[in-house]
Structure 1
Amino acid sequence: MKKIAIATSILSLVSSTLVGCTNGSENSNAAPNTETNTATNTSLNQVSTAKGKLQTIGIALGDLGNPFYVAMQKGTQEQAKKLGNDIRVNAVSSSFDLNQQTNQIENFTAANTDLIILSAVDKKGIKPAIDGARNAGRVVIAVDSAVDADVDAMISSNNTQAGEIACKYIGDRLQGKGNIVILNGTPMDSINQRVSGCKNSLSKYPDIKIISDQNAEGTRDGGLRVMGDLLTTFPKIDAVFATNDQSGVGADLAARQARRKEFFIVGVDGSPDATKAMEDKDGVFVATAAQDPAGMARTAVEIGNDVKQGKKLSNSEILVPVKLVTRDNLSSYKGW
């Protein structure tokens, strides 16, 4: 009884701490995506976990002020409710700070949390916390961001596909000829894959030239600053590929300020900010390769529940397809 009381006390303490970290506003338009692409990970070294009902879930996210992570939180809660068992969900925000996310995962581990879902802020730096959780018998699933650690499963958008369909749209719309710029982002796997996919598509259009490829830091301010400089440098730009919607929205603002409309912008994410920009016909943001953050989180809960019950996974890496949303089909897009 003493051990049970101590464990309960720890769980209560951690729960109250975690609740205080969730500060994002929810968006009620999360779009389900039931289709998935799978790839087998033959090197997975699963640690045995205590079998039984899934009762507690901890989800560690980058920043709950970002609608993408709010949608992930909501997807987790939706799937937990669907499974029943009065599953308790604790969502925490690290503000992209590795030390904070490490502490959060260690807290989940100490509180005997059954399933830990994380969107890693540092793929290498988070490894010790993941190893500790798995060695303690926790189920750990990485979502959206890859990690250099053994996890029970990895779920992410097909980022290569995102870059491919975005830049195929650019190539087709330009009829295979023109000058484009790439608003790159923080050098992480997902961003690198998007750029690689984009360049793969553009290689099929020999008369399209990439005249600039710069890091816009994945932020609205970064997109505004970098695009502002590019508009000063280049008298004519035909298209922009933004590796995420936030930098694309910033670039759209730069175009408005410079009163330049000879080009168009295509982003990646399918965010509320992007759809709002696309609705404004006075802007130049015209398309985005939309992810499904809520769908990824729902899948993580479903798979985590399977692992908790002792089921073997045939696929440990799941790639969730993206969908190109343009002004033409925007009205049918449910968004996040």
Structure 2
Amino acid sequence: MKKIARRTLLALTAAGFGLGAQAQTPVHLGVSIPTATHSFAAGIVWWAGVAKKELETKYPALKITIKTAANASEQANQLQDLMTVSRINALVVLPSESAALTKPVEQIHGKGVYVTVVDRGLTNPSGQDAYVAGDNTAFGRIPAEFIAGKLGGKGEIVALRGIQTTLDNERMDAFNAVMKKHPGIKLLDAKYGNWNRDDAFKVMQDYLTRFKRIDAVWAADDDMSVGVIKAIEQAKRTDIKLVFGGAGAKGSIKTLMDGSDPRIQANVSYSPKFMYDAIVMTAEARLKGQKLPATTIVPSVLITKDKAKDFYFPDSPF
């Protein structure tokens, strides 16, 4: 496994990506992302729009064209349009599907376009110049450490996974690695909730039927945590003291800030804002004719009540 460079935007700026008064190379940056079919994707689209507005205002030499696609084939067609019609010379792309978009992105890259891939990697990374994503290992490790601490190393828990992807495997593996250090905690089951409220509700209903005692739930996503809590309340169960979601959805962060649900005690960041970060980093680097590190991981951090206000974006759809 190649070594991953873990850097924040602050570190990148310190390394020389702030522009100041230096000469700027004209850049037409294409942004290719999935359509806002659910709240996290809506957040991706929203943050891309914020980046476009801020950057085009700040840098006259920069133009940004954003395309959203409902599926992989539409996204592939849009990539060709960005190349032949819009004549981009840089691209930030979040693939709808890794395998299906690898070839189209490779073709763009092969024509001299600088490519930054976000979140869902290509099956062949040679078709990209840079990769920007959230920290999936920390996304699994941080909740596990928090839950183990709150339970004092003893208890019975359940987990809800996302969709069957390498991303989800990284999270679950990291969660399990922590729990192996706490043999007094028993993971009763870990089923897929598909990052979906309704699916999570059904999975939690099953757990509540099968397990007479549950001390804590790792929902692994804030949308899923909504379904989990709905199921708990419908069943009138009072044994569950902690529900840990993830990704920092504004509803969950507001609940954490207000302290309105004692089961919501913390969160872990994995914000769609990394799309904004990727666009800013790519645009500013290319305006100077520079490149980004091959891999940049935007850190996932523990969000507690005292820090929640720093992760609350009320205007975002997520």
TM-score class, shorter-chain normalisation, is 0.7 to 0.9
TM-score (norm 2): 0.81
What are the within-5 Å matches in structure 2 for residues 239-250 of structure 1? 239-250=216-227
Query: Identity, % of aligned pairs?
Result: 22
Call closer, same or farther: CA 1:207–1:242 in 2, change over 3 Å. Answer: same
CA deviation vs aligned residue, 1:154-185 (integer Å, no higher than 9, x gap): 00111101111111000000110111111011
Query: Deviation at 1:75?
Result: 4.6
Give the aligned partner of residue 74 of structure 2: 100
Matched residues in 1 for 2:35 and 2:135: separation?
19
SS in 2 for 1:212: strand
Superposition pairs of residues 1-336 of structure 1, within 5 angstroms? 34-35=9-10, 52-63=25-36, 65-66=38-39, 67-78=42-53, 80-81=55-56, 83-85=58-60, 87-95=62-70, 97-111=71-85, 112-149=87-124, 150-263=127-240, 264-278=242-256, 279=258, 281-282=260-261, 284-307=263-286, 309-313=288-292, 315-335=293-313
Distance 1:303 1:92, change over 3 A: closer
Contact 1:181 1:213 in 2 (8 A): yes
SS of equivalent to 2:100? coil
Cα drift, residue 309 of structure 1: 4.8
Q: CA deviation at 1:237?
A: 0.8
| Distance in 2 of aligned mates of 1:261 and 1:36 | 45
> What is the deviation of 1:307?
4.2
**Per the alignment, do residues 265 and 191 of structure 1 end up closer, same or farther by CA in structure 2, a change over 3 Å counting?**
same
User: TM-score, structure 1 length as denominator?
Assistant: 0.77
Amino acid at match of 1:61: P
Q: 1:14 is matched with which residue?
A: none
- In structure 2, C-alpha distance between the alignment counterparts of 1:93 and 1:256, rounded to whole Å: 37
Structure 1 residue 234: Cα displacement: 0.9
Q: Secondary structure at the match of 1:286?
A: coil
Tell me the CA shift for residue 216 of structure 1: 0.3
Q: 1:36 to 1:164 in 2, by over 3 A?
A: farther
- Aligned Cα root-mean-square deviation (Å): 2.5
CA 1:34–1:310 in 2, change beyond 3 Å: closer, same or farther?
A: closer
Cα distance change of structure 1 residues 208 and 62 upon mapping to structure 2, 3 Å threshold: farther
Partner SS, residue 217 of structure 2: strand
Shift of 1:78: 4.9
Assess if the C-alpha contact under 8 Å between 1:277 and 1:285 holds in 2.
Answer: yes
1:255 aligned partner, one-letter code: I
SS in 2 for 1:105: helix
Range moving further from structure 2, 113-122 or 164-173: 113-122
The equivalent of 1:19 in structure 2 is none
Unaligned runs of 5+ residues in structure 1 are 1-32, 38-50
Task: Tell me the secondary structure at the aligned position of residue 57 of structure 1.
Answer: strand
The one-letter code matched in structure 1 to 2:276 is A
Look up the match of 2:15. Answer: none
Distance 2:104 2:47 in 1: 21
Is contact 1:139–1:304 with CA below 8 Å preserved after alignment?
no
> Structure 2 vs 1, CA of residues 166 and 106 (structure 1 numbering), >3 Å: closer, same or farther?
same
Whole-Å separation in 2 of the counterparts to 1:252 and 1:36? 39
Task: List alignment gaps of at least 5 residues for structure 2.
Answer: 1-7, 13-23
CA contact (8 A) 1:76 1:294 kept: no
> Take 2:279 and 2:310, find their aligned partners in 1: how far apart are those partners?
26
